[in-house]
Amino acid sequence: MNKSTRVLLVSLLSVAALAGCSKKVKETAPPPADTGSTVPQQPATSGLYGPNDLDTDACLRQRVVYFDFDKDDVRSEFQAIMACHAKYLRDRPSSRITLEGHTDERGSRAYNQALGERRGNAVSSALQANGGSASQLTVVSYGEERPVCTESNEACWSQNRRVEIVYTAK
């Protein structure tokens, strides 16, 4: 294939790729009818979260992210929670969060301290990827020092492998 044909082919592929990346308009569905069930509340009518939403919004009330054994990556089931808290951070630039990393009792104290920090940093990264600001986030690791369950079994250990989201300024 000669050079001009290759240039033409690359140009056509580039135009096709750019056309495929054009902004799509989303159609919005009508709001669901109120059936009286416990549907998570939406933010205020302006679309912005306020300080009261931390206690009333079902998504924002979820402030614990759990991890698998010896892992420090945020599981996909917690992505919606990350998006809610990141939106709160965007809507309220004066708000601040401390991310408290915890582990179960297995492993050395130093290893668990480092793992708790990696877990806190993973949640911090997820919040930042969803639009939260790094200046609003602080990571603290407690390792195995603050368990919520003290039994030595998998059910208990799974409760201790977590990051708690603590709002220090609303």
Residue 121 lies in a domain: yes
Q: Which CATH number does the domain housing residue 74 bear?
A: 3.30.1330.60
The average confidence (pLDDT) of the chain is: 82
What would the pLDDT profile of 50-76 be if each residue is shown by its tens digit? Answer: 888 999 999 999 999 999 999 999 999
CA-wise closest residue to 158 among 70, 59, 63 = 70
d(CA 82, CA 1): 50
Residue 164 lies in a domain: yes
According to DSSP, residue 82 is labeled H
Domain limits for position 63:
49-169
Residue 36 lies in a domain: no
Residue 105 lies in a domain: yes
Residue 30 lies in a domain: no
Q: Per the structure, how many domains does the chain have?
A: 1
Percent over 90 (pLDDT), the chain = 66
d(CA 26, CA 14): 25
Residue 89 lies in a domain: yes
Residue 16 lies in a domain: no
SS3 65: strand
CA-wise closest residue to 84 among 118, 120, 114, 48 = 48
C-alpha distance from residue 123 to each of 30, 84, 115 (Å): 33, 13, 13
What would the pLDDT profile of 14-58 be if each residue is shown by its tens digit? Answer: 544 444 444 443 444 444 444 343 333 444 435 788 888 999 999
d(CA 131, CA 125): 10
